[in-house]
Amino acid sequence: MSLDKIISQAVSRAVAELYAVEVSAESIVPQATRKEFEGNLTVVVFPFLKASRKSPEATATELGEWLVANEAAVEKFNVVKGFLNISIKSDFWIDVLNDVANADDFGIKPVTDESQLVMVEYSSPNTNKPLHLGHVRNNLLGYSLSLILKANGYKVVKTNIVNDRGIHICKSMLAWQKWGDGITPEKAGKKGDHLIGDFYVEFDKHYKAELKALKESGLSDEEAEKQSTLMQEAREMLRKWEQNDPEIRGLWKTMNEWVYAGFDDTYKRMGVDFDKIYYESDTYLEGKDLVLGGIEKGIMYRKEDNSVWADLTADGLDHKLLLRGDGTSVYMTQDIGTAKLRYQDYPIDKMVYVVGNEQNYHFQVLALLLDKLGFKWGKDLVHFSYGMVELPHGKMKSREGTVVDADDLMDEMINSAAEASAERMKDIPADEAAEIARVIGLGALKYFLLKVDPRKNMMFNPQESIDFNGNTGPFIQYTYARIQSVLRRAQEQAAALTVKPVPSEKEVTLIQKIADFPSVVEDAGRNYSPAVIANYCYDLAKEYNQFYHDYPILKEEDENVRAMRLLLSSVTARTLKSAVALLGIEMPNRM
């Protein structure tokens, strides 16, 4: 049992015995004592004043005296206003260290048959372009969140919905027909998703040129757009696709397969995967059927132009379009259809959508509609709303070909890692050095994107992310590699301690930081925040490095103290590796 839970349960018993009031241990959350005060853990006593009918100081004193007398872990206490600062006995910290060392999957809750099932949707790419920096943040957030929820004891199903139909797909297809000259990924020597993305940019280039010529002839912007032959051809292609035209469907299938092969390579390299992939071309018709059925149930209504709407004014929102007058669906309709198929496939208890914050309103509406249509998890769906990634030179525009491509970004990060670590790895074989550079480069990318509160917009700076100092992935990886070096050089194996030397204040602080890991995992799961894990990793690595610089390990003459420090190093490394694994980050054994 973690130390904070031991103290929580002890305080709960104290309140019951002293004041005859039952307070759940879960509601008592000890915090690490602030550095300017004496103690290891602090309990706020204000919630107990109604029961004690005494001042905050008197209540805290009574609770502290009870803990010293009745809880073996507590050595002494002090009171600062309504804050009870608790000092833990030094030999108890060695027990904590031994317990962590002996625990399998420390901090990770097991998944059981009774575990709730959470489905997490992330990625959601379009098949008209390769994955870019925005997708990278989405994928890393979704994958990390899935790992964190699993570590909290949930069954997790990772899903992806691929946007493989619509006018944007037809633009790439039309451009390939007009200017592709039968090119294939093999002939071009390109990944399929990159090739198709080139044709999406090509369409936009010709479309803009056509609009410019039309406007120069005296047409308004609106008139020029209506008379654009390119756009008319793209819309005609979409109509043929919806009518199952065999030639158009054949081309669509071929080009999409090129893209999927490219996506698969990028996902594998990024280190993310999915348990189930859904396709918009399969789900949009399901959504139409549900919406039409909603008319019969009085949930939706049809306007004179044949369009179908939902009236959500009673819920504080507005009227929402679900089917256009020509019968074509909107994004909301296909999300409803996807939900139906998922609910058929899995016994979902909670659904989490990892989608940017520009879609906040969309998911408010989706939650209401799914609930009205009878999906039990609909009203409680979680929109994991995250901010956008910005670059020093501004926002990305995929139509203009100015996107930061995910594959190029990973190449850049790995190359930067190789350059930054060249001197450190000059004596390491080339193939091993290349693998270490890969691990460092991708670790730097993942950590930098995940350490920020996901709700915030962020500026991505590749140079800053690869720094071996500060709050970065390479700093944490270097700390781990440093510990592995210490353990390799040690003559004895780090093992549970039979003799209990008195740990120093700094060693106690490090043990306490390690012992916090289970509550950190719970906090990250409760708040859907990989950033909680990331910043814990940095704090733990920083704490270990301070210990490493202040205390000898291998040169310590007292064999019992040396054994304690080796075990402390080993447990720190294992905890760091477990923590960064929840971010999808690998650890190198040397750097």
Residue 288 · residue 302 · CB < 8 Å: no
231 vs 401: CA distance, rounded Å: 19
414 vs 477: CA distance, rounded Å: 15
Residue 121 · residue 351 · CB < 8 Å: yes
405 vs 262: CA distance, rounded Å: 12
The Cα-based distances of 370 to 309, 333, 367, 375, 508 in angstroms read 14, 11, 5, 5, 51
Residue 319 covered by a domain: no
DSSP 8-state symbol, 320 = E
B/e letters for 238-271, b = 16+ CB within 10 Å, e = fewer, are bebbeeeeeebeebbeebbebbbebbeebbeebe
Domain residues for the domain of 41 are 3-88
Q: Which segments within 67-186 are labelled E, that is strand?
A: 74-80, 83-88, 117-121, 155-162
Cβ neighbours for 494, distance < 8 A, ≥ 6 positions apart: 101, 487, 563, 566, 567, 569, 570, 571
346 vs 376: CA distance, rounded Å: 13
Residue 534 · residue 447 · CB < 8 Å: yes
User: What CATH number has the domain bearing residue 64?
Assistant: 3.30.1360.70
| pLDDT score at 462 | 81
Residue 361 covered by a domain: no
Residue 536 CB-density burial (10 A; 0-12 exposed, 13-18 middle, 19+ buried):
buried
pLDDT digits (tens, 9 = 90+) for 217-242: 999 999 999 999 999 999 999 999 98
User: What CATH number has the domain bearing residue 554?
Assistant: 1.10.730.10
Residue 481 covered by a domain: yes
Give the closest residue to 4 by CA, choosing from 520, 555, 540, 585: 520
Domain final position from 44, 61, 88: 88
| pLDDT score at 402 | 53
| pLDDT score at 397 | 44
Count of domains observed in the chain: 2
**pTM of this prediction exceeds 0.75:** yes
Residue 303 covered by a domain: no
41 vs 28: CA distance, rounded Å: 12
Q: Which segments within 122-200 are labelled E, that is strand?
A: 155-162
Domain final position from 30, 61, 88: 88
- Per the model's pLDDT, the better-predicted residue between 496 and 162 turns out to be 162
The answer on pLDDT for 400 being more than 60 is no
**Helices H / strands E in the chain, number of each:** 22, 14
Choice among 55-59, 81-85, 316-320, 492-496 with the minimum mean pLDDT: 492-496
pLDDT digits (tens, 9 = 90+) for 119-136: 999 999 999 999 999 999
Domain final position from 64, 88, 112: 88
pLDDT digits (tens, 9 = 90+) for 21-47: 999 999 999 998 998 999 999 999 999
Residue 84 covered by a domain: yes
Residue 380 · residue 409 · CB < 8 Å: no
Give the closest residue to 387 by CA, choosing from 520, 525, 529, 272: 529
The Cα-based distances of 539 to 110, 177, 410, 441, 582 in angstroms read 26, 55, 26, 21, 16
The answer on pLDDT for 394 being more than 70 is no
